[in-house]
Structure 1
Amino acid sequence: MQKRRRFKQQLTLQDRLAAWSKEIHEQAAILPPGPERDALLKKARQADVASHLDDWAKSPGLQSPT
């Protein structure tokens, strides 16, 4: 049985999502309008939504269903 390789993330999920989203927006800005640019912008929006969902899940106002 193989051992899993584990490592500690240097940046938080929020930071990694924000950096990835920024990088994709920069790549999309270079491209002309078209399907490739639309695909990159869609990925950036997904990263933004994931970031907001992570914020929401960690919010103190979130109550567990009982």
Structure 2
Amino acid sequence: MNQRARVKHEKTFQQRLNDEALHLRDEAAALTSGKDRKLLLKRADQAEKASRIDAWLSSSGLRPPT
């Protein structure tokens, strides 16, 4: 069986998500109103939400359900 190639990321997952959100918003700003722009903004929102969820899940204040 082949082994998967491992990738060593220089940035954290949250940083990569935030960078992706900024990149998507920049692309959307270059477009006029329309379906493509709306899709890019939606993907940017999803990346920002994923970043916030990751921060919440990795926080020290998070308690397991009882």
Q: TM-score range by the shorter chain?
A: over 0.9
Aligned counterparts of 1:31 and 1:60: Cα–Cα separation in 2:
41
Distance in 1, matches of 2:54 and 2:63, equals 15
Gaps of 5+ in 2: none
Task: Indicate the residue corresponding to 1:59 in structure 2.
Answer: 59
What amino acid does structure 1 have at the position aligned with 2:43? K
Deviation at 1:65, TM superposition (A): 2.1
**Equivalences, count:** 66
Greater mean deviation of Cα atoms: 26-35 or 4-13? 4-13
Give runs of ≥4 in structure 1 deviating > 2 Å. Answer: none
CA distance in 2, matches of 1:7, 1:18: 19
Gaps in structure 1 of 5+ consecutive residues: none
CA RMSD of aligned residues (A): 0.9
**C-alpha distance in 2 between matches for 1:49 and 1:39:** 15
Matching residue's letter, 1:35 = K
Q: How does 1:2-13 map onto structure 2 within 5 Å?
A: 2-13=2-13
- Please name the residue that 1:46 is paired with: 46
Q: TM-score, normalised by structure 1?
A: 0.93
